[in-house]
């Protein structure tokens, strides 16, 4: 075994690898960018080395700097985790050429399986069934369109390089192929530096099932059962489980054997995953999609049902040790489910309430509570004080539950998600909890489109009055100082006291994504009343609580919130996995806020903090409703900003490379003038003509 291993990654996976290194008695070396100087993986490693500025290309993706850090610390091996450089054949070669062990498969295997086109041909020659699709590499747009037409829509466009759903596009309308191909190439080029695409037949309501394989350098290749990964959005997994509720023993054995054949076909070594697509109405059929030549995000569920530490055996295989098992030694015990906690905000789309947009979020972790208990495991990169930016992947942690059966594992997962509290950054924990309680999920009736179909119904209809009430009472308490010496001058506190009774004090509050609400408070102590909006007044008051909690007595019912206050005065209140930020709202300032207020629906604002990557419009251009004007990217996600209506671009305040904040005005599109019933110009048109004359 190695004495020192450098972990060429960050966040929760770096912490995860360090945990196993510590258990093995191996010295760990962390690397970090400037943004991560105080990150959890840096704190937990034995040694940490700065490798560059915040930009990943100049730090975590710099082979030269990573190898220099390994040399400076005496590392004998490099573990790449997943993402970043884990599936980069050039990096694997550079590591081995530097005389270090690469904790992963041979570079040739990475290269072969990283090219989805060659990978399909290779495993197909080995007898593994593959998804029907285009053949050949380097296809032009016209050749991709031709292949799609021959296969027949719907089809899936996929980058030949990389993974994680980046650049994938489902196309149901042939007329959209040119636009979708361009978008897929752009995202693939940005994510992987390679815009080569392939096209595959799309199977409606498919299930995504993958097989974990483990191979040593002595000829042994095993599989460790399957994982069900059908709960996805944007082709990215959000909840995974093992084993799959779909497969019987015969199908499991057949898919496992096919995965072993695929691994042997490429000369694999280490831990890897062979991914299959399975028709939901024909579970006996399965087709190879791709092989991920690395540790998977969802590897904990396999570890929990097999008892095998996959990171440990990655390290042992890289050190030349043989696997100590035969296939018959691998047993699956119980059931495990994992949920990925990501920094993101889920909101119903303004133009389509049935669609949910998942937008990246950022901020400082003000308060953190992670679950524990029987059958619960948390892999996390978070600490209180962690700065979450849009520079890196949005995944923050994974909550995993294990039990003797599937219902128990799901029940433990839901309870663990309810106990997960992250204040200061929006996360998807509450959404995942609702998803895990969906009847179709509890029954195991899954497919890759389920989340998209059900997402809108999993979001709360609004903000509970208790949240506004607690925030208003906290704000109100700050206006009413405690009595000194048992007496308080009634004229020194802004509590609404009058000679003839107590008046209402109104607090204007806003939860992002919702309209501002006026909350009125009257009285003190047990006589306090609170009125939220136009609702009837409710008896509500704060009870004594811990420093990081708020206890609210609301209409006779007690509710406890986790509580933190941001530097700008925003109140964060958390319960049942949901962290809500309640901001003070100034109606006058909002009315004077500038272009967004002046132009109303004509203004296009940034839906998330990020960077403008593409600008296709220009000032003065006539645009059509729905036409893409620019693209904002954050955490490897693209969001297209489209024209809200037919009109003219009258303002465009950004260009490619501009960093933007949430709600920043990006562009303004004035609507085309409409004719009035009498044939004269409508008032809006008259205003434009008048301005033009001036």
**pLDDT tens, 334-356?**
999 999 999 999 888 777 777 88
CB 8 within 8 A of CB 80: yes
Average pLDDT over residues 580-606: 70
Residue 486 has pLDDT above 80, yes or no: no
CB 15 within 8 A of CB 41: yes
429-478 pLDDT, tens per residue?
999 999 999 999 999 999 999 999 999 999 998 999 999 999 999 999 88
Average pLDDT over residues 673-691: 42
Average pLDDT over residues 608-614: 83
- CATH code given to domain 110-130+203-333: 3.30.470.20
Average pLDDT over residues 480-506: 67
DSSP states of 500-540: TEEPPEEEEEE-TTS--EEEEEE-SGGG-EEEETTSPPEEE
Torsion of CA 69, 106, 36, 5, to 10 degrees: -50
pLDDT band at 491 (very low <50, low <70, confident <90, very high): low
DSSP states of 262-308: HHHHTT--EEEEEEEEEETT-TT--EEEEEE-S--TTHHHHHHHH--
Radius of gyration over alpha carbons of the chain, in Å?
28
The residue with greater pLDDT, 31 or 679, is: 31
Residue 681 has pLDDT above 50, yes or no: no
Instruction: Enumerate the H helices of 115-192 as residue ranges.
Output: 116-125, 141-151, 177-192
> What residue spans define the domains of the chain?
4-103, 110-130+203-333, 465-480+502-585, 595-693
Secondary structure (3-state) at 223: strand
Residue 609 has pLDDT above 50, yes or no: yes
Average pLDDT over residues 397-422: 98
CB 158 within 8 A of CB 166: no
The residue with greater pLDDT, 600 or 154, is: 154
Asked which of 13-22, 234-243, 556-565 is least confident by mean pLDDT, the reply is: 234-243
Percent of the chain with pLDDT over 90: 67
CB 102 within 8 A of CB 96: yes
Q: Which CATH class is domain 4-103?
A: alpha beta
CB 125 within 8 A of CB 115: no
pLDDT band at 31 (very low <50, low <70, confident <90, very high): very high
pLDDT of 595 reads: 44
Cα 250 to Cα 258: distance, rounded to the nearest angstrom: 12
Using CB atoms within 10 Å of the CB of residue 99, give its burial: 0 to 12 exposed, 13 to 18 middle, 19+ buried: exposed
Cα 188 to Cα 441: distance, rounded to the nearest angstrom: 31
Q: Evaluate whether the domain defined by 465-480+502-585 bears CATH number 3.30.365.10.
A: no
Q: Evaluate whether the domain defined by 595-693 bears CATH number 2.40.50.100.
A: yes
Average pLDDT taken over every residue of the chain:
89
pLDDT of 61 reads: 95
CB 590 within 8 A of CB 597: yes
Residues 6+ apart with CB under 8 A from 101: 2, 76, 77, 78, 95, 318, 319
């Amino acid at each position: 075994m190695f004495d020192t291993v450098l972990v060429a990654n960050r966040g929760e996976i770096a912490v995860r690898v360090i945990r196993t290194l510590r258990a093995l008695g191996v010295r760990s070396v962390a690397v970090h960018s400037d943004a991560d100087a105080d990150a959890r993986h840096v704190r937990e490693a034995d040694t940490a080395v700065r490798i560059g500025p915040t930009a990943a290309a100049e730090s975590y993706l710099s082979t030269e700097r990573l190898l220099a850090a390994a040399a400076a610390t005496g590392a004998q091996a490099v573990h790449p985790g997943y993402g970043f450089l884990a599936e980069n054949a050039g990096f694997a070669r550079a590591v081995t050429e530097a005389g270090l062990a690469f904790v992963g498969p041979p570079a040739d295997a990475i290269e072969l399986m990283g090219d989805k086109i060659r990978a399909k041909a290779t495993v197909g020659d080995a007898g593994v069934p593959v998804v029907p699709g285009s053949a050949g590499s380097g296809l032009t747009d016209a050749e991709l369109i031709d292949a799609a037409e021959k296969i027949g829509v719907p089809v899936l466009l996929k980058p030949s390089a990389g993974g994680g759903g980046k650049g994938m596009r489902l196309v149901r309308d042939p007329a959209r192929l040119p636009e979708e191909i361009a978008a897929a190439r752009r995202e693939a080029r940005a994510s992987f530096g390679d815009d080569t695409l392939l096209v595959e037949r799309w199977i409606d309501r498919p299930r995504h099932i993958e097989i974990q394989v483990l191979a040593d350098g002595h000829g042994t290749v095993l599989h460790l059962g399957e994982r069900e990964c059908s709960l996805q959005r944007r082709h990215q997994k959000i909840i995974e489980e093992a084993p799959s509720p779909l497969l019987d023993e015969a199908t499991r054995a057949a898919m496992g054997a096919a995965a072993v054949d695929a691994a042997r076909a490429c000369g694999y070594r280490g831990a890897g995953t062979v991914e299959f697509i399975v028709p939901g109405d024909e579970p006996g059929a399965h087709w190879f999609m791709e092989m991920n030549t690395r540790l998977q995000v969802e590897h904990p569920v396999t570890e929990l049902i097999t008892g095998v530490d996959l990171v440990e055996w990655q390290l042992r295989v890289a050190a030349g040790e043989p696997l100590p098992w035969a296939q018959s030694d691998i047993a699956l015990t119980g059931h495990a489910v994992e949920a990925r906690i990501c920094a993101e905000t889920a909101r119903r789309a303004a133009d389509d309430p049935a669609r949910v947009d998942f937008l990246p979020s950022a901020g400082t972790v003000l308060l953190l509570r992670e679950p524990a208990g029987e059958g619960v495991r948390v892999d996390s990169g978070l600490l209180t004080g962690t700065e979450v930016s849009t520079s890196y992947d949005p995944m923050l942690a994974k909550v995993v539950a294990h039990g003797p059966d599937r219902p128990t594992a799901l029940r433990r997962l839901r309870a663990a998600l309810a106990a997960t509290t992250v204040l200061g950054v929006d996360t998807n924990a509450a959404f995942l909890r609702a998803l895990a309680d969906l009847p179709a999920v509890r029954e195991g009736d899954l497919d890759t489109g389920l989340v998209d179909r059900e997402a809108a119904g999993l979001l709360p209809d609004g903000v509970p009055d208790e949240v506004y009430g607690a925030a208003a009472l906290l704000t109100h308490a700050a206006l009413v100082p405690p009595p000194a010496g048992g007496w308080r001058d009634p004229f020194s506190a802004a509590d609404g006291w009058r000679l003839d009774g107590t008046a209402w004090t109104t607090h204007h509050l806003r939860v992002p994504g919702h309209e501002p609400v006026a909350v009125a408070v009257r009285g003190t102590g047990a006589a306090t009343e609170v009125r939220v909006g136009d609702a009837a007044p409710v008896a509500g008051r704060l009870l004594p609580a811990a420093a990081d909690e708020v206890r609210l007595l609301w209409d006779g019912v007690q509710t406890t919130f986790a509580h933190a206050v941001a530097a700008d005065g925003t109140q964060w209140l958390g319960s049942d996995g949901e962290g809500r930020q309640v901001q003070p709202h100034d109606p006058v300032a909002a009315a004077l806020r500038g272009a967004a207020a002046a132009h109303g629906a004509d203004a296009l604002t940034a839906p998330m903090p990020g960077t403008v990557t593409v600008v296709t419009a220009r000032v003065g251009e006539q645009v059509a409703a729905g036409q893409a004007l620019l693209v904002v990217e954050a955490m490897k996600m693209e969001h297209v900003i489209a024209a809200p209506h037919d009109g003219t671009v009258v303002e465009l305040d950004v260009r490619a490379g501009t960093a933007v904040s949430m709600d920043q005005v990006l562009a303004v599109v004035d609507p085309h003038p409409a004719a009035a019933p009498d044939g004269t110009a409508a008032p809006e048109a008259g205003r434009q003509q008048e301005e033009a004359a001036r």
